[in-house]
Amino acid sequence: MEFLSDLQAQFSTAYELLAAGWGVQLLWGIGWTLAVTVVSMLIGAVLGSLVASAKLSHRGGLRFIGESYTTVFRGEPELLIIYLFYYGGTQVLTGVARSTGSIGSTDILNMPSFLGGVLAVGIISGAYQAEVFRGSFLAIHRGELEAARAYGMSAWLRFRLVIVPQVLRLAVPGLGNVWQLTIKDSALISVTGVAELMLTANKAARSTHHSLLFYTVAGILYLVMTSISTPIFEKAERYTSRSFTRPK
Amino acid sequence: MSANVAAAAKAAPPPGDKSAISVRDMRKCFGDHEVLKGISLEAHKGDVISILGSSGSGKSTMLRCINLLETPDSGEVRVDGELIKMKQSRDGRQMPADIRQVERIRANLAMVFQSFNLWSHMTVLENLVAAPTHVLKRPRAECLEQAEALLKRVGIWERRNYYPPHMSGGQQQRAAIARALAMNPKVMLFDEPTSALDPELVGEVLRVMRSLAEEGRTMLVVTHEMGFARDVSSKVMFLHKGEVDSVGEPKEMFAKPPTPQFKQFIANFNK
């Protein structure tokens, strides 16, 4: 009985804390987490498709650049890349600004935390997306590309009319995977000071001493975000592969 | 090269007004293997040329060298009198000098493939209008109208909104022929159009091809269909080990095979 009343007390504390403003802050945290993830995915999509084309190129130099990119950014710890971009970026920006005289010789020009964070996570996401795009391109039926050439399509037309739609179709399941990875990587951006979900949960836990409560709530919220994305990607997969599944 | 061919080459008129495709001394190697050892071919407007040969004789490679899906190592290709300009690349190989010219010529040489190669993410109708609207830049409404008419002609209009993977091989190949026709091509290239089909589906494709021959289309057909070669084509060309073994009127060629190789080839088919 004592245990039950204790639990009840826990719940009412939790409710009070969340109602006292931490709840709203956590919701903002979700918003920032999603913003970081979406922007990083977009940066990653651009970089990933460039890197994938480099890796598929018949020019040795481009292939080497592409290979190095995916080897480095998949092989290094994510946190290291984030530190490198955020603190390294700050050092570079400061150096440039001091030498051009835009700031004083003792001032520091900080890397904007959101920008530094999404660049780092976007570059990592790009390394994984590059592999997804490369695999998808290789899975396109060669004959369809040949038909596009035989009908006089230029390289750009073949890219736009045949390659992109088919790569997207084949890439959806793999991109779903990268999306989940990127949501989780976004938590690491908390070290740069973006008030996303992880940082908010951290702040709440420290200032209220209710670590168990806030980390559990944050954990549940991450799980909700990743599980909601699964059916969305499944739906996208059904849509993009409609030409391969029998019509009902 | 047999005496027969030398005579045929000599007798061939120079490429003039009526030449649709003219190939001179085309050679092609894959690594050390010489697949085409100096092929020449003359197709006039309205010709239906069946290109026969056992597998490995170079017949598909020859067809693919005409629209530059493969780059010939040497030789000339003229389409409608226009020479496809070639240049030497840095590693000494021949390559197209002007890719725009190649693209323009390809659009006039619609190809039908053995494995159909319809674009699987587009409906049949979209397959028919994609190249005419984007490559030939014709108005979409006009292309759609023509596409529907062509699909009626090849008998699959009811399937116009299907995706290719949902159709039988015979239907896909008829759609592919309609896609070729939608380009209003000067010459149609068929690369073993019935070889990937189940036997009971071959007839429907051959019927369409026969009707195209009858309306005077210029066609180069790489095929194993002896009946089509004998009854429909205006000329038969037999390739053997990368060379033109014999060329002639189908009736004569089949009644009196001019070379032992061709005799052997048709004997194998009649077994």
Per-residue 3-state assignment (H helix, E strand, C coil) for B86-126: EEECCCCCEEECCHHHHHHHHHCCCEECCCCCCCCCCCHHH
pLDDT for A213: 85
Q: Distance of CA A198 to CAs A69, A80, A211, A226, Å?
A: 28, 18, 12, 15
Structure confidence by residue, pLDDT tens digits, B49-73: 999 998 888 999 999 999 999 999 9
| CB of A143 less than 8 A from some CB of B | yes
Q: Which chain B positions have a beta carbon within 8 Å of A166's beta carbon?
A: 120-121
Range of the domain at A35: 29-205+219-239
Query: d(Cα B156, Cα B153) in Å, to the nearest integer?
Result: 8
For chain A, positions 179-198, list CB contacts with chain B under 8 A.
none
The answer to whether residue A21 sits within a structural domain is no
What ipTM was estimated for this complex? 0.88
> Is A134 within 8 Å of A52 (Cβ atoms)?
yes
For chain B, positions 72-111, list CB contacts with chain A under 8 A.
99, 103-107, 109-111
Query: d(Cα A171, Cα B66) in Å, to the nearest integer?
Result: 35
pLDDT for B13: 47
> Is A69 within 8 Å of A153 (Cβ atoms)?
no
Sign of CA dihedral A78, A80, A84, A87: positive
Residue B128 has a CB neighbour count (10 Å cut-off) of 28
For chain A, how many structural domains are there in total?
1
Structure confidence by residue, pLDDT tens digits, B102-112: 999 999 999 99
Mean pLDDT in consecutive groups of 10 residues from the start of chain A, 248 residues: 74 75 86 93 95 92 95 92 90 88 82 89 95 94 95 94 91 92 90 86 86 88 91 88 65
pLDDT for B5: 47
Query: d(Cα A64, Cα B148) in Å, to the nearest integer?
Result: 48
Q: What are phi and psi of B161, to 5 degrees?
A: -100, 15
Q: Distance of CA B183 to CAs A6, B114, B130, B131, Å?
A: 80, 19, 10, 7
Query: d(Cα A26, Cα A198) in Å, to the nearest integer?
Result: 9
* B10 pLDDT more than 60: no
The answer to whether residue A228 sits within a structural domain is yes
Of B103, B119, B121, the CB nearest to A147: B119
Of A146, A154, A246, the CB nearest to B69: A146
pLDDT for A97: 87
The answer to whether residue A84 sits within a structural domain is yes
The answer to whether residue A100 sits within a structural domain is yes
Tokens of B179: 């896609």
> Is B23 within 8 Å of B40 (Cβ atoms)?
yes
Contact B166 A247 (CB under 8 A): yes
Contact A243 B104 (CB under 8 A): no
Question: How does DSSP classify residue A111?
Answer: P
Mean pLDDT of B245-267: 92
The answer to whether residue A146 sits within a structural domain is yes
The pTM for the full model equals 0.81
The answer to whether residue A18 sits within a structural domain is no
Distance from CA of B207 to the nearest CA of A (A): 23
Q: What is the CATH number of the domain that holds A90?
A: 1.10.3720.10
Tokens of B252: 């004569």
Contact A169 B121 (CB under 8 A): yes
Q: In what order do the strands lie in the sheet with B74-79?
A: B33-44, B19-30, B74-79, B82-83
pLDDT for A106: 81
Distance from CA of A172 to the nearest CA of B (A): 14
The answer to whether residue A167 sits within a structural domain is yes
The one-letter amino acid at A160: R
The answer to whether residue A246 sits within a structural domain is no
Query: d(Cα A141, Cα B248) in Å, to the nearest integer?
Result: 37
**Side-chain half-sphere CA neighbours of A181 within 13 A:** 18
Size of interface A-B (CB pairs under 8 A): 77
Contact B165 A243 (CB under 8 A): yes
> Is A54 within 8 Å of A96 (Cβ atoms)?
no
Q: What are phi and psi of A149, to 5 degrees?
A: -65, -45
pLDDT for A22: 82
pLDDT for B17: 60
* B1 pLDDT more than 60: no
